[in-house]
Amino acid sequence: MQNSLREALRAVFTLDITGCEFGDKKLCLLPGVYDTERTNVVPTTATVDGTEVVTGVTVTTTYDNPANLNNAGYACDQVADDGGLSTKEGVAIQAVGRAKMRDFLHEVQRVGMRCTEIVIKNLAGPTNEEIFNTQIELAKTVVGARGGMDFVTLQKYVNVNAYDRSKITIDLSGVDENGRLKALDLTPEVFMAMTVPQNAHFTIQFTFDNTVSGI
């Protein structure tokens, strides 16, 4: 019973992702040490005597700017952020549940999180399963240098004999054949990205180890 409760209390974060209508896009999920802040200045207007005039500006801050990552050699088209782009502009993302994208990012950057499972569920239908032909890219970022890239190939986790072939589960619990933990430690330095195929629609769910909770 105690183990079941511990399993149920594990933290989960889920993103609903829809691909761009006009082509594949590389989406950064974690930018590592690089700054992705963008200041957006949008003029506000009003109609005066039949003429539209600028009455001021609205300034907002987003964290979707890939420029610094691209300059450092971590190629991506877009950085995931809340309230992001439409599918005509890029990849549309929406956090599912209580936590937002920035909550996930802040937790990783604050203390790090240990991921024990990744589940990707295809929502685009059986005739559009391109998402399972892509990879998750991982690297440890270092200012002034470019670390080596590791890849999680999703096709390796497709079970052709499974009843539900709309999803794959990447099990990162336990230890490998060498006795090393399989868990993926998402530390503040980790860069994570994946190519989102055109018109893809899927969810990606991360499950985290809650051993620090003491429960």
Task: Dump pLDDT digits (tens) for 153-206.
Answer: 999 998 877 767 799 999 998 888 888 888 999 999 999 999 999 999 999 999
Beta-carbon contacts of residue 6 (< 8 Å; ≥ 6 apart): 210, 215
| Domain coverage including residue 94 | 10-41+52-210
pTM for this entry: 0.85
What's the total number of domains in the chain? 1
Q: Give the 3-state secondary structure of residue 210.
A: coil
1 within a domain of the structure (yes/no): no
Of 149 and 28, the one with more pLDDT: 28
Can you tell me the distance from the alpha carbon of 126 to that of 139, in angstroms, rounded to the nearest whole number?
A: 31
Q: Residue ranges of the alpha helices (H) in the chain?
A: 2-8, 67-71, 101-110
Length of the chain counted residue by residue:
215
**pLDDT of amino acid 211:** 52
Which of 137, 149, 147 has the alpha carbon at shortest distance from 194? 137
46 within a domain of the structure (yes/no): no
Given a cut of 60, whether residue 3 has pLDDT beyond it is no
152 within a domain of the structure (yes/no): yes
157 within a domain of the structure (yes/no): yes
**pLDDT of amino acid 148:** 83
